[in-house]
Structure 1
Amino acid sequence: MTAINHPRPTFSAEEAAAVLHALFGVSGRLEALPSERDQNFRVTAADGREFIFKIVNAAEPQTAVAFQTALLRHVEAVDPDLPVPRIVPTPEGEDFGFATGRGGERHALRLVTWLAGTPLAEAQKTPGTLRDLGRVLGRLDWALQSFGHPGAHHAFDWEIREVPRSRARLSHIADPARRRLVETVLDTYDSRVAPALKRLRCGVIHNDANDWNLLVAGPTGGPITGLIDFGDAVHSPLVAELAIACAYAMLGAASPVEAAAAIVAGYHAELPLQEAEFEVLMDLVAARLAVSVSISATRHAAAAENPYLLVSEKPAWDLLERLARIDRRIATAILRKACGLEAAPGVRRLGEWLAANRRTLAPMLRPHPARQRKCVLDLGSPDAPLPKASAAGDHAAADRAYAELQKAHGFDLGLGPHGEKRTVYTAPFFRSALIDGARRDLHLGLDVFAPAGTPLYTPLAAKVVAATVNPAPQDYGGLLLLEHEPEPGLRFQTLWGHLDHASVRERRVGEELPAGAFVARLGDYAENGGWVPHLHLQLVASPYDDASIIPGVGEEAFREVWAELFPAPYDFAGLPPETFERGGRDRASLLAARKARLGPNLSVSYREPLKMVRGEDVWLIDDTGRAYLDCYNNVAHVGHCHPRVVDAITRQVPVLNTNTRYLHDTIVDYTERLATTLPPELDTFFVLCTGSEANELALRMARTCTARRDVLVLDWAYHGNTQGLVDISPYKYKRKGGAGRPEHTHELPVPDPYRAPSGWPAAEIGERYADEAVRRIGRMAADGRAPGAFIAETIPSVAGQIFLPPGYLRAVYAAVRAAGGLCIADEVQVGFGRVGNAMWAFEEHGVVPDIVTMGKPIGNGHPLAVVAVRREIAERFANGMEYFNTFGGNPVSCAAGLAVLDVLEEERLLPNAAEQGGYLLTGMRRLMERHPAVGDVRGRGLFFGIELVRDRATKEHAGAEAAAVVNRARELGVLMGTDGPFDNVVKLRPPMTFRREHADILLDVLGEAIRDVLG
Structure 2
Amino acid sequence: MTIVNNPRPAFSSAEARELLRAHFGIEGGLTSLPSERDQNFRIETADGQGFTFKIMNAAEPLSAIEFQTALLRHLEGCDPDLAVPRIVHTIGGQDYALIDGADGRYAVRLVTYLAGHPLAEQTKTPEILHGIGRLLGRLDRALASFGHPGAHRSFDWEIRTAPFSRERLHAVADPEQCRLVENALDIYDSRVTPLLKHLRCGVIHNDANDWNVLVADGRVNGLIDFGDAVHSPIVAELAVACTYAMLDEASPIETAARIVAGYHAEYPLQDTEFSVILHLIMARLTISVTMSAARRLGAAEDPYLFVSEKPAWDLLRKLSAIDHRIATGILRQACGLEATPGARRIREWLSANRRNLAPLMRPHPARQAKHVLNLGSLDEPLAAASAAQDNDGAERAYAELVREHGFTLGLGPWGERRIIYTAPFFESVLAEGKRRNVHLGLDIFAPAGTEMFTPLAATVVATTINPDPQDYGGLILLEHEPEPGLRFWTLWGHLDHASARERRIGERLEAGALVARLGDYAENGGWVPHIHLQLITVPYEDLSIIPGVGEEAFVPVWEDLYPRPYDFAGLTSEAFERNGRTREELIEKRRERLGRNVSMSYRTPLKMVRGEGVWLIDDAGRTYLDCYNNVAHLGHCHPNVVQAIARQAALLNTNTRYLHDTIIDYTDRLAQSLPKELDTFFIVCTGSEANDLALRMARTFTGRNDMLVLDWAYHGHTQALIDISPYKYKRKGGRGRPSFTHELPIPEVYRAPIVGTPEEIGHYYAEEAGRLISGLPSGHAPAAFIAETIPSVAGQVFLPPGYLKSVYASVRAAGGVVIADEVQVGLGRVGDSMWAFEEHGVVPDIVTMGKPIGNGHPLAVVAVRREIAEAFANGMEYFNTFGGNPVSCAAGLAVLETLEQENLLANASEQGAYLLDGIKRLQEKYPAIGDVRGRGLFLGIEIVRDRATKEHAGDPASRISNRAKELGVLMGTDGPHDNVIKLRPPMILKREHADLLIQILDRSMADVLQ
Structure 2 residue aligned with 1:659: 655
Structure 2 residue aligned with 1:126: 125
Q: Structure 1 CA distance, aligned partners of 2:146 and 2:925?
A: 90
How much does 1:400 deviate? 1.3
Q: Structure 2 CA distance, aligned partners of 1:658 and 1:45?
A: 82
Q: Match of 1:564, SS? A: helix
Residues 822 and 835 of structure 2 are in contact (CA less than 8 Å); yes or no, is this contact kept in structure 1?
yes
Structure 2 counterpart of 1:217, which letter?
Answer: A
Structure 1 counterpart of 2:249, which letter?
Answer: A
Residues 410 and 445 of structure 2 are in contact (CA less than 8 Å); yes or no, is this contact kept in structure 1?
yes
Q: Structure 1 CA distance, aligned partners of 2:31 and 2:177?
A: 40
Structure 2 residue aligned with 1:346: 342
Residues 250 and 432 of structure 2 are in contact (CA less than 8 Å); yes or no, is this contact kept in structure 1?
yes
How much does 1:305 deviate? 9.6
Written as runs of structure 1 = structure 2, the 5 A alignment for 1:733-772 is 733-758=729-754, 763-772=759-768
Structure 1 residue aligned with 2:1007: 1012
1:467 and 2:466 aligned: no
Residues 333 and 557 of structure 2 are in contact (CA less than 8 Å); yes or no, is this contact kept in structure 1?
yes
Structure 2 counterpart of 1:34, which letter?
Answer: P
Written as runs of structure 1 = structure 2, the 5 A alignment for 1:545-694 is 545-694=541-690
Cα 1:306–1:876 change in 2 (3 A) is: closer
Structure 2 residue aligned with 1:25: 25
Structure 2 residue aligned with 1:179: 178
Cα 1:83–1:7 change in 2 (3 A) is: same
Structure 2 residue aligned with 1:812: 807
Q: Structure 2 CA distance, aligned partners of 1:669 and 1:708?
A: 35
1:966 and 2:948 aligned: no
Structure 1 residue aligned with 2:155: 156
How much does 1:758 deviate? 4.9
Q: Match of 1:938, SS? A: strand
Deviations 1:540-589 (A, max 9, x none): 01121211011000000111000110000000001112112221111111
Deviations 1:835-856 (A, max 9, x none): 1111111111111111111112
How much does 1:5 deviate? 5.7
How much does 1:307 deviate? 11
How much does 1:310 deviate? 7.2
Residues 372 and 412 of structure 1 are in contact (CA less than 8 Å); yes or no, is this contact kept in structure 2?
yes
Structure 1 residue aligned with 2:985: 990
User: RMSD of the alignment, in Å?
Assistant: 1.7
Cα 1:205–1:46 change in 2 (3 A) is: same
Q: Which runs of 4+ in 1 moved over 4 A?
A: 1-5, 304-312, 758-763
Structure 2 counterpart of 1:192, which letter?
Answer: R
Deviations 1:222-253 (A, max 9, x none): 21122111111111111111111111111111
Cα 1:388–1:306 change in 2 (3 A) is: farther
Q: What percent identity do the matched residue pairs reach?
A: 71
Structure 2 residue aligned with 1:497: 493
Residues 387 and 422 of structure 2 are in contact (CA less than 8 Å); yes or no, is this contact kept in structure 1?
no
Structure 2 residue aligned with 1:142: 141
1:336 and 2:335 aligned: no
How much does 1:621 deviate? 0.5
Written as runs of structure 1 = structure 2, the 5 A alignment for 1:718-867 is 718-758=714-754, 763-780=759-776, 783-867=778-862
The aligned length equals: 1010
- Return 929-938 or 413-422, whichever deviates more: 929-938
Q: Match of 2:943, SS? A: strand
Structure 1 counterpart of 2:60, which letter?
Answer: E
Q: Structure 2 CA distance, aligned partners of 1:196 and 1:308?
A: 33
How much does 1:924 deviate? 1.1
Q: Match of 1:56, SS? A: strand
Deviations 1:42-75 (A, max 9, x none): 2221222222111112322322222212211221
Structure 2 counterpart of 1:562, which letter?
Answer: W
1:486 and 2:446 aligned: no
Structure 1 counterpart of 2:349, which letter?
Answer: W
Structure 2 residue aligned with 1:905: 900
Written as runs of structure 1 = structure 2, the 5 A alignment for 1:44-83 is 44-83=44-83
Q: Match of 1:868, SS? A: strand
How much does 1:760 deviate? 5.5
Residues 387 and 531 of structure 1 are in contact (CA less than 8 Å); yes or no, is this contact kept in structure 2?
no
Q: Structure 1 CA distance, aligned partners of 2:894 and 2:303?
A: 83
Structure 1 residue aligned with 2:523: 527
Residues 462 and 482 of structure 1 are in contact (CA less than 8 Å); yes or no, is this contact kept in structure 2?
yes
Cα 1:294–1:740 change in 2 (3 A) is: same
Q: Structure 2 CA distance, aligned partners of 1:123 and 1:305?
A: 26
Q: Structure 1 CA distance, aligned partners of 2:556 and 2:236?
A: 27
How much does 1:805 deviate? 0.8
Residues 683 and 860 of structure 2 are in contact (CA less than 8 Å); yes or no, is this contact kept in structure 1?
yes
Deviations 1:117-146 (A, max 9, x none): 221112111221111001111111111122
Written as runs of structure 1 = structure 2, the 5 A alignment for 1:97-108 is 97-103=97-103, 105-108=104-107
Residues 62 and 108 of structure 1 are in contact (CA less than 8 Å); yes or no, is this contact kept in structure 2?
no
How much does 1:4 deviate? 6.4
Structure 2 counterpart of 1:170, which letter?
Answer: L
Residues 9 and 58 of structure 1 are in contact (CA less than 8 Å); yes or no, is this contact kept in structure 2?
no
Structure 1 residue aligned with 2:879: 884
1:934 and 2:933 aligned: no
Structure 1 residue aligned with 2:167: 168
Specify every segment of 5 or more residues in structure 2 that has no aligned partner in the other structure, as ranges: none
How much does 1:394 deviate? 2.8
Structure 1 counterpart of 2:44, which letter?
Answer: T
Structure 2 residue aligned with 1:976: 971
Structure 2 residue aligned with 1:434: 430
Q: Structure 2 CA distance, aligned partners of 1:645 and 1:697?
A: 26
Written as runs of structure 1 = structure 2, the 5 A alignment for 1:307-386 is 312-386=308-382
- Return 377-386 or 258-267, whichever deviates more: 377-386
How much does 1:686 deviate? 1.1
Structure 1 counterpart of 2:580, which letter?
Answer: G
Residues 471 and 477 of structure 1 are in contact (CA less than 8 Å); yes or no, is this contact kept in structure 2?
yes
Q: Match of 1:682, SS? A: coil
Structure 2 counterpart of 1:127, which letter?
Answer: P
Q: Match of 1:211, SS? A: coil
How much does 1:80 deviate? 2.1
Residues 9 and 39 of structure 2 are in contact (CA less than 8 Å); yes or no, is this contact kept in structure 1?
yes
How much does 1:387 deviate? 4.1
How much does 1:774 deviate? 0.5
Deviations 1:121-179 (A, max 9, x none): 12111221111001111111111122222222212111122223223222322233332
Written as runs of structure 1 = structure 2, the 5 A alignment for 1:401-480 is 401-480=397-476
Residues 440 and 562 of structure 2 are in contact (CA less than 8 Å); yes or no, is this contact kept in structure 1?
yes
Residues 130 and 259 of structure 2 are in contact (CA less than 8 Å); yes or no, is this contact kept in structure 1?
yes
Q: Structure 2 CA distance, aligned partners of 1:891 and 1:8?
A: 85
Structure 2 residue aligned with 1:538: 534
Structure 2 counterpart of 1:363, which letter?
Answer: P
- Return 1-10 or 48-57, whichever deviates more: 1-10
Deviations 1:327-346 (A, max 9, x none): 11110000000000000111
Deviations 1:69-100 (A, max 9, x none): 22112212222222211212123322211222
1:201 and 2:197 aligned: no
How much does 1:9 deviate? 2.1
Q: Structure 2 CA distance, aligned partners of 1:5 and 1:973?
A: 77
Q: Structure 2 CA distance, aligned partners of 1:875 and 1:389?
A: 79
Structure 2 counterpart of 1:162, which letter?
Answer: T
1:696 and 2:712 aligned: no
Structure 1 counterpart of 2:123, which letter?
Answer: Q
Q: Structure 1 CA distance, aligned partners of 2:190 and 2:321?
A: 19
Q: Structure 2 CA distance, aligned partners of 1:162 and 1:690?
A: 80
Residues 249 and 255 of structure 2 are in contact (CA less than 8 Å); yes or no, is this contact kept in structure 1?
yes
- The one of 876, 893, 896 equivalent to 2:891 is 896
Structure 2 residue aligned with 1:190: 189
Deviations 1:185-237 (A, max 9, x none): 2233233312322222222111111111111126xxx2112211111111111
Q: Structure 2 CA distance, aligned partners of 1:646 and 1:903?
A: 12
Q: Structure 1 CA distance, aligned partners of 2:357 and 2:821?
A: 40
Structure 1 residue aligned with 2:998: 1003
Residues 612 and 622 of structure 1 are in contact (CA less than 8 Å); yes or no, is this contact kept in structure 2?
yes
Q: Structure 2 CA distance, aligned partners of 1:51 and 1:98?
A: 19
Deviations 1:244-264 (A, max 9, x none): 111111111111111111110
